Structure 1
Amino acid sequence: MRNQHLKTSVRKLKLGRKWVFQMDNDPKHTSKVLSKCPDLNPIENLSAEQKSVQARRPTNRTQLHQLCQEEWAKINPTYCGKLVEGYLKCLTQGKQFKGNATK
């Protein structure tokens, strides 16, 4: 089924045959150097906020969509603003520490 969704997306995006599929966190696509670097992506923090959707165990797409909407509405815009504001600091520290762990 996943395969069919992938093919549908490729068609809708009009990618033709010039695309590469890579699984997120697939070890063969992750260098040892990068695995030691901190993840500076602020969206990861929001992903943690959405785990309550999984805990509520939606049983169909409509319910999943509704639960996602409800959980998304609970996220405080101030929290999102802090993530964005902190991103520049993270990038600066990442550069300063040459990609090693930051505070």
Structure 2
Amino acid sequence: MLWGCFAAGGTGALHKINGIMRMENYVDIFKQHLKTSVRKLKLGRKWVFQMDNDPMHTSKVVAKWLKDNKVKVLEWPSQSPDLTPIEHFWAELKKRVRVRRPTNLTQLHQLCQEEWAKFT
């Protein structure tokens, strides 16, 4: 499983998740990658974070971290996968990586990182 983010100016971090994803892991990903990605993408102070309404994303633990760190979150309708732009990124990433035919998990991760970096 991967976590990634992007903005109009390009891609931010792409993070490999080992094992089962839990709310605490999601907060750890934010701690490690969200603000770094905001700086890399040169978003300044007036950016808005978008995520879908997955129960993990809307949990109290995640909501508290976002609030405590002053992350403005775009309100989002339930069950709207076609409206979530990241889903189109995932589909394109899968297509690009599949063509390169990875043979193991290490290579799969490396190819995902390479292709992710190519998105503009």
Q: Which has a greater percent of strand?
A: 2
Q: Which has a greater percent of helix?
A: 1
TM-score, normalised by the number of residues in structure 2: 0.33
Highest RCO, 1 vs 2 (Cα 8 Å, sep ≥ 6): 1
TM-score, normalised by the number of residues in structure 1: 0.37
Give the number of the structure whose alpha-carbon radius of gyration is greater: 1
